[in-house]
Amino acid sequence: MGQKDSKPKPSYSYNYDHGNTSSGYNSRYSTNASSSYSPRYAPSADNYVQPEAHARLQKKYSRIGDDYRSLSQVTEALAQAGLESSNLIVGIDFTKSNEWTGKLSFNRRCLHDIGSTPNPYEQAISIIGRTLSVFDEDNLIPCFGFGDASTHDQEVFSFYPENRPCNGFEEALERYREIVPTLRLAGPTSFAPIIETAIGIVDNTGGQYHVLLIIADGQVTRSVDTQSGQLSPQEHDTIDAIVKASHFPLSIVLVGVGDGPWDMMHQFDDNIPARSFDNFQFVNFTDIMSKSIAPDRKEAEFALSALMEIPEQYKATLDLQLLGRRQRIPPRIPLPPPARPTYSRSTSFDQQSGVYSRSSSFGLQPSGFQQQSESFKQKQGQPVATSAPDTYTSQSSLEGRILCALCMNKSKDLAFGCGHQTCYECGKNLVRCPICQQHITTRIRTILNFTVLHLVIGVSLLIAIVGVQVDSDPYKISVKKVN
């Protein structure tokens, strides 16, 4: 998501020191990284269950079977396994890596590309929403986004102003399609803000059982300079939030879409420190949906993989007396949805043709499907923008050309033989280009002339205001070969 690393992945085993001995955590992870992310509450030690009791609880519950051919069969199995009621919360990953992690699994398209066929995010929302809707009494779904330019790894934004939930998964899908073109994909990636937001919702409802569905295109940001056996700030915050969430009637289902990688997410699923109950499940959406089986069978298998632990987790919250309890923690207040012009970062304006055409930020040619997408909108009577982009669009375009697409923090100063660039820190140890996946055989260190850069940016923005298009390169570079 916020970053990709093509180096061989180690098996992670950490000595985790949460720093709070009163909480009862007997954890195995550690970090030497300080994080700017501040947890909003401390869990109560009264709810903690020792590992022996945790094991006894798990032995009481058996997972539901795995031989189902439709969503209705999965729903019936969930009910028979003991699930009585459930409320859904949805968190969507809007980090910049969505632009290239669909290369293999989504025909080189951005995973958030909106067209005549549903993208992976739309498919996952629809399948889980249809499966759990029968257990949701009010059918209100709080939906949030994270990882865009307004939230990064610190906040979440609500799909609607004033934190209004969506009325059913159908409205969630409709609102998702409205929001996508307004966003600037960014990073880095942390699941901590969305998990803590969900915890606040659960507590505010008086301890009703909820399922948090996080749909993401990769794993939590782990920079290349994070030492083996240590956690990045984003990894530490995410693990910390998952452990804290186990003190509330909340199940977390992380659905991975796109090309991955997923090794760290499997580690999260298997090796998170001691919790009140096993509250986290990771599902590889791409693997399941790429199987050569009937579409209905794929949907049933995905829903089953995502939800098969829910009955066991629901019963655990009953035995732990987490249901119906309000701990009165300070709620996390989501940001409002980004108010942007209806142009996405992956949309470019062609003044000669007078219409928008989708293209990759990294110079890939638009696919036939993407071109058909705009034609489809015209046939359906949907408006297609025909005016020049505003200052914001020009500025974001320049940022996309200057900032490293992995960390979204440092300037691009390392070019690969394929022509793509990252910052030196992110790219110095990569084996494959994170954008085109070609093997890296050449690295060239580039040095930006920042005085010229800032001057040209200012002039370019001024020119954009008066509607004149700038075709020149916004900065000059000198290069030197990296040994």
Among residues 251, 309, 260, the alpha carbon closest in space to that of 284 is found at: 260
* Residue 77 binned pLDDT confidence (cut-offs 50, 70, 90): confident
Taking only the tens place, the pLDDT of each residue in 266-317 is 776 666 778 889 899 999 999 999 999 999 999 999 999 999 889 889 989 9
Whole-number mean pLDDT of the chain?
74
DSSP 64: -
CA distances from 9 to 105, 255, 259, 439 (A): 21, 21, 16, 17
Does residue 210 surpass a pLDDT of 80? Answer: yes
**Average pLDDT of 420-426?**
81
**Average pLDDT of 27-54?**
44
Residue 225: partners with Cβ closer than 8 Å, 6 or more residues away: 425
* Residue 331 binned pLDDT confidence (cut-offs 50, 70, 90): confident
CA distances from 149 to 146, 216, 325, 408 (A): 9, 16, 36, 9
pLDDT at 266: 77
**Tokens in use for 99?**
């632009």
Angle between helices 120-132 and 168-179 (to 10 degrees): 160
**Average pLDDT of 222-233?**
77
CA distances from 49 to 16, 332, 433 (A): 19, 26, 45
Does residue 46 surpass a pLDDT of 50? Answer: no
> Is the model's pTM score more than 0.85?
no
**Average pLDDT of 247-253?**
96
* Residue 265 binned pLDDT confidence (cut-offs 50, 70, 90): confident
pLDDT at 155: 96
For 51, how many CA atoms within 13 A lie in the half-sphere containing its CB? 6
Residue 89: partners with Cβ closer than 8 Å, 6 or more residues away: 141, 142, 143, 144, 197, 198, 201, 210, 211, 212, 213
Residue with tokens 């760290």: 264
Q: Which is it for the CA torsion 44, 47, 53, 58, positive or negative?
A: negative
Question: How much of the chain is helix, strand and coil, in % rounded to 5?
Answer: 35, 15, 50
pLDDT at 53: 55
Does residue 214 surpass a pLDDT of 70? Answer: yes
Taking only the tens place, the pLDDT of each residue in 363-420 is 333 333 333 334 434 444 444 443 334 434 444 445 556 777 766 667 788 888 887 8
**Average pLDDT of 232-250?**
93
Taking only the tens place, the pLDDT of each residue in 111-163 is 999 998 999 999 999 999 999 998 988 999 999 999 999 999 999 999 999 99
Does residue 166 surpass a pLDDT of 70? Answer: yes
User: For residue 313, how far is the Cα from the chain centroid?
Assistant: 23
Domains by residue range for the chain, with CATH:
21-319 (3.40.50.410), 410-483 (3.30.40)
Among residues 91, 81, 160, 162, the alpha carbon closest in space to that of 125 is found at: 91
Residue 290 and residue 343 in contact, taking contact as beta carbons nearer than 8 Å: no
Q: What is the C-alpha to C-alpha distance for residues 160 and 138, in angstroms, rounded to an integer?
A: 18
Detail the DSSP E strand segments found in 360-428.
414-416, 421-422
